[in-house]
Amino acid sequence: MMNFHILTLFPEMVLEGLNTSIIGRAAERGYISIEAVNIRDYTLDKHGKVDDYTYGGGAGMLMQAQPVYDAYMAVQSRIKTNSARVIYVTPQGRTFHQELAKELAREEDLIFLCGHYEGIDERVLEEIVTDEISIGDYVLTGGELPAMVMVDAIARLVPGVLHNTDSAVTESFYDGLLEYPQYSRPEIWHDKRVPQVLLSGDHAKVDAWRLEQSVLRTKERRPDLYEAYAEKRCGEIRNKKK
Ligand code: 9D3
């Protein structure tokens, strides 16, 4: 069981997106919980304002410390975890990847903080944030989509979330290779035949073909992954010889 808490100005965006997916089914079945906390609910401003101009000038508005801090404190007071990790999703963070997803999937509670406008007052970040994470080098309009991406990637690693328990283990990126090409019926479509080996019924031959295809694809499309794979295999062969 894992509890996701998302601090955001757009709670319905986050909830609708996640609840309409496999992750939503997992939440219904009780393997995870997803809570979206509206930062605006915690402002003390009578007009509901959560942003203001930046000291020193410059374009744009900044999210103020007070509503962000109070929203965080409300979540922290309700959860068992004493000091849950607080992930600020920001273009300035380190890039999210599968190993980080695996690490975060071991937590009981995770708090995501989504920024908007030009960002958040640094002082509240200093007090509450434990991790700053980006999903890649492109510019989005807010942190909600990145938080949803991360929740999706982490939640599917929580035991019970995926029906097929081994699909999270045997998939690509686990052994560091890309997936091999796959085919379904019919046997001929637009004059294209399914590779003969897949119809042979020889499982050893099928496995060998798939591995070969994975290696070729990886070498072609992701030379960085191929390099790491080749390096790892060299080590295994060296160890066997000893
Ligand atoms: C246009 C404003 N930018 C220049 C000062 C800064 C900026 C602030 C906030 C740029 C984008 C955003 C909104 N993006 C995120 O909050 C975000 C993000 C992203 O844009 N790309 C990849 N990962 C992430 S994680 C959070």
- The pLDDT of residue 208: 98
Domain that includes residue 183, residue range = 170-241
Instruction: Look at the chain and count its residues.
Output: 242
165 domain-assigned: no
Who lines ligand 1 at CB under 6 A? 89-91, 115, 118-119, 134-136, 138-143, 146
User: Is the same domain home to 20 and 132?
Assistant: yes
Closest residue by Cα to atom 18, ligand 1, is: 91
pLDDT on residue 241: 67
Q: Are residues 130 and 187 in the same domain?
A: no
Nearest to 111 by CA among 10, 207, 36: 36
CATH number at residue 233: 1.10.1270.20
In a domain, 104, yes or no: yes
Q: What is the mean pLDDT of residues 30-59?
A: 97
For 164-219, the three-class secondary structure string (H helix, E strand, C coil) is CCCHHHHCCCCCCCCCCCCCCCCCEECCEECCHHHHCCCHHHHHHHHHHHHHHHHH
Same domain for 188 and 85?
no
- The reply to whether 128 falls in a domain is yes
pTM (2 d.p.): 0.94
**Residue 108 predicted with pLDDT over 80:** yes
pLDDT in tens, 121-160: 999 999 999 999 999 999 999 999 999 999 999 999 999 9
- For the segment 61-105, what is each residue's pLDDT rounded down to a tens digit? 999 999 999 999 999 999 999 989 999 999 999 999 999 999 999
Of 6, 68, 90, 95, the residue with max ligand 1 atoms within 8 A of its CB, to mutate for a pocket test, comes to 90
**Are 149 and 206 in a shared domain?**
no
pLDDT at 172 over 50: no
Domain boundary among 155, 189, 220: 155
Query: Is 90 found in the same domain as 56?
Result: yes
Who wins on pLDDT, 46 or 235? 46
Mean pLDDT score, 175-194: 97
Cα 236 to ligand 1 centre (Å): 41
Domain boundary residue, one of 155, 189, 205: 155
Task: Encode pLDDT of 185-222 as tens digits.
Answer: 999 999 999 999 999 999 999 999 999 999 999 999 99
